[in-house]
A and B are shown apart, each in its own frame.
Chain A
Amino acid sequence: MRTICWTVLISAGVAVGSATALAAGSETDREISLTIYNKNIALIEHVRPISAPAGRQRIEFAGVSAQIVPETVSFIAPNMTLIEQNFDYDLLTPAKLMEKAVGSSVQLVRVNPATGAETTEKAEVLSTVGGTVLRIGPRIEVLREDSLPTRVIFDKVPENLRAQPTLSVLVNAAKPVNEVARLTYLSRGFTWAADYVAVFDEPHGITSVQGWITLRNTSGTSFVNARTQLVAGDVNLVDSEEQWWTRWQQSRNTNQRSIGTENTGRPQLGDYYVYPIRELTTVANNQTKQVSFLDAGSVKASKGYELRFYGFQSYSDPQSAEVRMRFSNSKSGGMGEQLPSGVVRIYMRDAHGQPQFVGEDHIGHTSAGSELALKIGDAFDVTVQPTLTQTRSISKRKSEYDMSYLVRNARATPVVVTLRQDGLWRENSVLKESIAGRRTDFNSFAWDVPVPANGESTLTFTLATSW
């Protein structure tokens, strides 16, 4: 049996066990492509020239991802049939080297501590349990019992001990092969996410939005000059632990206010959007790589204050209103791009004109033409203080609530605060209100409360609800 060794990044010396059987052939990938999903998984394809004689032989793949999922490997080469496939995790360490040498001979080089003179002897390793026992000629000794300097030299390194986990396949070639083979597999250790930077110019009612795809490679392996594409969409990974939770969070998605239906001309792959990186790129291990995919200069945007209350309650502490930035990723709004799931970081300019970070929000995969209301933070100067002024039981199942919401604005500009009374029972109606409100869905009402600069407004209403 012979071994063919493929190496990519590192010279032949790495493929420790196989140096003697190194076959002719290309040492690098002719092509390598990475398709990276945003669920810690990537599809990797190596295309490599292969030249091998006819017969049964082992082929090693150095330079594959250290986080390969071995059961997903597929190896396709013309005129070759796969017999067996191995992924060896047995790391080459000094201790392993000694263990595997049991029963074979090594050289001992001893140094005389007084003179520095070296003497070399042959020895047989008998055991490595709790120390190394050697047979040297007729004598049995324990290695370095005398604490004197002793080097141990091994003739060879066992084949299955490796510097890094290595994939090998046992194949049978019908005839001598000199072609191109494809190796594909899934690997862990890759993630990508979209990251957005929005510089919000509130006075002019616009925001810039830059989108970056952030790619992280923690697979333990670098990929040089790879054709790389990123796939947005939710790949269904059966073994993902927090699947239910993630799905629930995605469906929760309260900052998307309407779902768009615009087409952007982005390449699609089934239910996924594909973001190819235009040029070949090196995806180094432990590197964070970012590729620009969106640069919208002026997107219509506005700021809004909102607060939602579930149930009827008095609060002794005023509650801060939520600040949201509203915009649309529609063509008419100035963008016309779908937005893959990620985090939007929002900046506003300070008195010196320098952008300062003001908050961030997570968005789900958002099709073009959707309305978004991203939460920036809590308003320091706009607060709401609810008081339940009176409750009445009308019947066993029906109650009336008199609510009063005191909205204060300590800002030098007037604001409008959208208050929502949510989580009502099945039958509900507003009996009285100081400002005209609206029903927002079957169990909630909303009121837009205008508040003057440095002033306050009070919303009062009486609501009947029953079950």
Chain B
Amino acid sequence: MAALLGAQIARAGPMEVISPQADAVSITIYRDLFALITETRTVDLPEGPVTLSFDGVVETLLPASAVVTDLGRTPEERNFDHDVLSPNNLLTKSIGKSVTITRTLPGSGRVVQTRAVILAANDQGITLRTETGNEALHCSGIPERLMFDDIPHDLRATPRLSIHLPAGKAGKRTVRLSYLAHGFAWKSDYVARLAPAGNRMDLTGWITLHNYTQAGFRGAQVQVVAGKLHLVSTEQGGSSLLGDSDDLSDWNLNETREAALEDLRQKLEPEDPGLQLFSGCHAVPVPATLEGRPLDGAESLEEVIVTGFRGSLRASLQMKRDAMMAAREELGDYQLYRLPVATDLHARQTKQAVFLAKQRVKVDHYYSFAFDGRGSEDLESLTPESTIAFENQKSSGLGEPLPEGMMRVFESTGTGDLFMGEARMEDQPVNLPVELSVAMALGLGLEIDASEATRDELRNTGLDERTDIELRAFNAKSVPVTLEVLQYGGYRPNARISKSSQRVRRKYGDFVWRLRVPANGSKTLIYRFERPKDADSEPAK
């Protein structure tokens, strides 16, 4: 049995088969800083028990997530060794072994070689035993270097995944190795261009994906998954660097993602080649720090996106030409977008693709204002929000799932495009209305008079609360606008509008009015909000 013989023998013998690299790779990137890597590899298995080793796996591999299929045998055991061949590991693994120490004597330049046993090697220096006695390395001021007889067998340049297989049929097989690896992410961004009339928009959706790892992929099939996966934190044995998804909510998700990404990027930063153990004594000059290429920071990512926008202004034309559009399919209860052609994904690369391009989508542009209706607001300067709303359905020219992301809205004018504003959009399934406040209104102001009835005034009315509201909207624009006024109230027991100058609707339990405010004009809304008393506090009838 391979396990019985020990790794060294298994390595020397014919029973280890090493697969140096993958024939083909598929990468599925998720939002939460990991990807599923699926590799196809061809291996030639002998009949007897064998240790099959996969080299060249991504260094951030999560060992527990690995799955190997199409082996024709059931694996009994597998090992993931992450002792990499670094100067430090070379030293610590050589404690107790004999090495050759080479000294170049100053002046004569004479080279003297002696054998030595490494007694200890730690972050405070290296101690050796030579023929003459015991001494410390790199303390004398004489140029000294160590020469090792061989590499400890378990040290390797890249991590290795090996599996022990029982005996089975010999021959060539194509096996599939899949595993989750940290250091990948993607997001979606939208560009909406409103037509001058404000009732149609062109909507383009971009996928921006990142490989933060050192691993590069040639001719990889790349896809991304949209949707919220339930994940368990890595501390609890799961895959998530963001913590348990049960502890995350929409409002802290993006923050948490960014913090986790920052941590991860620091971890993936190439290590300072300071050869820590080798510089334990003072005499060794610390090698100059490599001037590493700065990582794609958040700032430079923004630039990438901005570039994307510029492209998008001519996007429709371009896309027809190169058809580089990601295709959507359903994966369980999520959406999966597949890049149409195999692509190279290099280490630390950012890539973009279009996944959505819809022209002339019906859109409603209006202004909205929501308030509590209690006269408790600062009623001095009330500014509505500029809002776009659309029905995500075929009849409106859309009807596509919209993964969460930032929506940036541009207004077409005679002279060019103007940036109107932006809003974060949650995942949007089809057939649902979407409403996004993208900016504060300009040239549209409100005045509100709210007079709340006093306790005396309410006596004998059977009411707990009564407020008369007069809302005046002023439009300084040269076009008429629509204003949606919303008063919260659904959560307050027995709430009702008893009279109103305009028709009132209920929207998700709240009270809503729609006003048309004429160009360079004003409009007034008057209504009364009241709440009858609780049944048992009312005098018996």
Contacts and interface: CB of A to CB of B under 8 A. Distances in A.
Interface of A: 10-11, 13-14, 16, 91-98, 107, 109, 111-118, 144, 147-157, 161-164, 193, 195, 197, 200, 202, 210, 212, 214, 224-225, 277-282, 284-292, 295, 313-318, 320, 322-323, 342-343, 345, 347-348, 350-351, 354-362, 375-383, 385, 387-396, 399, 408, 410-411, 454, 456
Interface string B79-92: 11111000000000
A1 B167 CA distance: 54
A342 B76 CA distance: 19
Contact of A360 (B108, B238, B494): B238
6 contacts: A93-B120, A212-B78, A357-B229, A358-B331, A360-B231, A362-B232
Contacts of A282: 3, 6-7
Interface stretch (B135-143, B255-263, B380-388, B518-526): B135-143
B510 to A, nearest CB: 7
B113 interface: no
Interface in B515-541: 534-537
Given A16-B120, A147-B141, A396-B534, A290 B63 contact: yes
Given A13-B97, A113-B106, A197-B67, 19 more contacts: A95-B125, A97-B134, A154-B135, A225-B6, A281-B3, A281-B77, A282-B6, A289-B78, A291-B77, A292-B74, A292-B75, A314-B508, A320-B228, A343-B64, A348-B331, A354-B26, A357-B28, A357-B65, A357-B225
A94 B281 contact: yes
Given A93-B120, A94-B281, A387 B490 contact: yes
B332 A162 contact: no
A406 to B, nearest CB: 10
B236 interface: yes
Given A94-B136, A147-B141, A289 B429 contact: no
Contacts of A152: 135-136, 139-140
B332 A289 contact: no
A393 B494 contact: yes
B96 interface: yes
The 6 closest A-B pairs by CB, nearest first: A116-B108, A94-B136, A314-B509, A393-B534, A92-B120, A10-B96
Contact of A377 (B81, B127, B228): B228
A390 B83 CA distance: 64
Contacts of A345: 65, 180, 239
Interface string B9-53: 000000000000000001010100000101000000000000000
B207 interface: no
B449 interface: no
A46 to B, nearest CB: 17
Contacts of A380: 226-227, 333-335, 401, 427, 429
Contacts of B38: 354-355
Given A151-B142, A154-B134, A286 B81 contact: yes
Contact of A359 (B117, B122, B231, B431): B231
Given A16-B119, A152-B139, A290 B79 contact: yes
Contacts of B130: 153
B64 A290 contact: yes
B535 A395 contact: yes
A32 to B, nearest CB: 13
Interface of B: 1, 3-4, 6-7, 26, 28, 30, 36, 38, 63-67, 74-83, 95-98, 105-110, 117-122, 124-127, 129-130, 132-137, 139-142, 154, 178, 180, 223, 225-232, 236-239, 280-281, 329-336, 401, 426-427, 429-432, 490-494, 506-510, 534-537
A378 B141 CA distance: 64
B55 to A, nearest CB: 16
Given A116-B108, A224-B6, A195 B64 contact: yes
Given A195-B64, A288-B82, A362-B236, A396 B333 contact: no
B227 A378 contact: yes
A150 B3 CA distance: 49
A420 to B, nearest CB: 16
A278 B76 CA distance: 10
A343 B236 contact: yes
Contacts of A116: 105-110
Contact of B77 (A195, A290, A347, A357): A290
B124 A94 contact: yes
B141 A149 contact: yes
A156 B333 contact: no
Which among B98, B109, B230, B426 has the highest number of chain A CB atoms within 10 Å? B230
Contacts of B238: 343, 360, 362
A360 to B, nearest CB: 5
Given A113-B106, A356-B331, A288 B64 contact: yes
Contacts of B226: 380
Nearest to B533: A393
A394 B535 contact: yes
Given A351-B329, A379-B333, A393-B536, A14 B140 contact: no
A255 to B, nearest CB: 10
Contact of B120 (A91, A202, A379): A91
A50 B109 CA distance: 51
Nearest to B105: A116
A388 B426 CA distance: 22
B78 A290 contact: yes
Given A360-B238, A393-B534, A382 B127 contact: no
B237 A362 contact: yes
B141 A144 contact: yes
B105 A111 contact: yes
B125 A94 contact: yes
Contacts of A107: 132-133
Nearest to A403: B509
Among B98, B109, B136, the one with the most A-chain Cβ atoms within 10 Å of its Cβ is B136
A415 to B, nearest CB: 10
B127 A392 contact: no
B79 A288 contact: yes
B241 to A, nearest CB: 13
B280 to A, nearest CB: 7
Among B36, B137, B142: residue with most chain A CB under 10 A: B142
A334 B282 CA distance: 65
Nearest to B486: A316
B331 A350 contact: yes
A385 B508 contact: yes
A462 B199 CA distance: 40
A153 B429 CA distance: 76
B107 A320 contact: no
Contacts of A314: 490-491, 508-510
A454 B431 contact: yes
A459 B522 CA distance: 41
A388 B30 contact: no
A391 B493 CA distance: 5
A343 B431 CA distance: 35
A153 B129 CA distance: 9
Contact of A149 (B76, B142, B427): B142
Given A14-B95, A116-B106, A289 B119 contact: no
A454 B394 CA distance: 12
B236 to A, nearest CB: 6
Identify which of B28, B223, B238, B507 gathers the most chain A CB atoms within 10 Å of its CB: B238
A13 B96 contact: yes
Contact of B491 (A212, A214, A388): A388
A151 B135 contact: yes
B367 to A, nearest CB: 17
A124 to B, nearest CB: 15
B326 to A, nearest CB: 13
A381 B135 contact: no
A212 B232 CA distance: 17
A93 B125 contact: yes
A11 to B, nearest CB: 5
Contacts of A355: 38, 67, 178
A381 B280 CA distance: 59
Nearest to B250: A317
